[in-house]
Structure 1
Amino acid sequence: MERLSADYYVYPGATARALRRYEAFARAPGRRPLYPQDAECSCRGCSFDDVRHARDVLAEVLRHLPPRARAELGRRVAVLDAGYLRRTLPDPFADQRQWESGLWWHRRLAGGREGA
């Protein structure tokens, strides 16, 4: 799927990288809220600094996988989604943001330093 994708951010190895990044964020030690940080650059490499981008990549991959692979990856992502929801706070102004706020993981408070 990665090799056939026309998406700039989905390339060979992107799924594994996105999964590692999302897992590191969602399973970070501690109990304090986490705040996703914005990537300083939108290139393929730096964009993964923003955990929301990693989740975007996983969503894109899930849309194009065959059913069995989609179910397997979907189960892993669902567990991480629960951790992300537990450790982040809702953004009460998400509807007023200029970027697309339709994806639930973008509707959480972000900014500043991760984990701050």
Structure 2
Amino acid sequence: MPRRRPGALRAGHPGRPRRWDKPPPGRIHGLSARTSNAIHRVEELAPSYLYPGAVDRALRRYEAFLAPPGRRPLYPQDPDCGCVGHSLDDVRHARDLLEEALAHLPPRARAELGRRIASLDRVYLKRTLPDPLADRRPWKGDVWWYRRLYRVREG
């Protein structure tokens, strides 16, 4: 009995179209096109709080936090509200989102994004101060970027 070719088998099943067949929203600044496409694919398909454009927004937020010139310490700040639209006001949440993306990316894209994040992490460690009471805090104490001093919004 002759074997049917895989293309003929797939042509017979309309199936669900791949979500990443549509063109990506655009290249992420500072990353290759291949890595940008892998990130867009992960944002579309990952079963987490990643959403389309989240990694680009988180990278820009992380860079913007570290951008002010000078040697004064920087303090991450809690967001005004906990809604998704304002969650990246807290740079620590932006770093959480980048870590989540790294966990889902293929090896080559993970390495490229990881190098970019590592360079930003070095600056973050230089520009923020360690929190001496971090081990007493019940939330996120195991993640190093939450173990830095932060500013709480008043009111």
Do they superpose with TM above 0.5? Answer: yes
What corresponds to 1:31 in structure 2? 71
For 1:69 and 1:47, the matched residues in 2 are separated by 25
Q: Percent identity?
A: 67
What corresponds to 1:40 in structure 2? 80
Q: Please list every run of 5 or more consecutive structure 2 residues that lacks an aligned counterpart in the other structure.
A: 1-41
What corresponds to 2:142 in structure 1? 102
For 2:55 and 2:137, the matched residues in 1 are separated by 28
Q: What's the TM-score once normalised by structure 2's chain length?
A: 0.69
For 2:97 and 2:109, the matched residues in 1 are separated by 15
For 1:52 and 1:39, the matched residues in 2 are separated by 10
Q: Is the counterpart of residue 59 in structure 1 residue 102 in structure 2?
A: no
Corresponding letter in the other structure for 2:48: D
What corresponds to 2:17 in structure 1? none
What corresponds to 1:14 in structure 2? 54
Asked whether the 8 Å contact 1:26–1:81 carries over to 2, the reply is: no
Post-superposition, which runs of at least 4 consecutive aligned residues in structure 1 deviate over 4 A? none
Matches within 5 A, 1:70-89: 70-89=110-129
Deviation string for 1:9-28 (max 9, x for gaps)? Answer: x1000000000000111232
Q: Please list every run of 5 or more consecutive structure 1 residues that lacks an aligned counterpart in the other structure.
A: none
Asked whether the 8 Å contact 1:52–1:105 carries over to 2, the reply is: yes
Corresponding letter in the other structure for 1:111: R
Corresponding letter in the other structure for 1:5: A
Asked whether the 8 Å contact 1:19–1:58 carries over to 2, the reply is: yes
Change in 2 beyond 3 A, CA 1:35/1:102: same
RMSD: 1.1
- Alignment size in residue pairs: 112
Tell me which structure has the larger Cα radius of gyration: 2
Corresponding letter in the other structure for 2:46: S
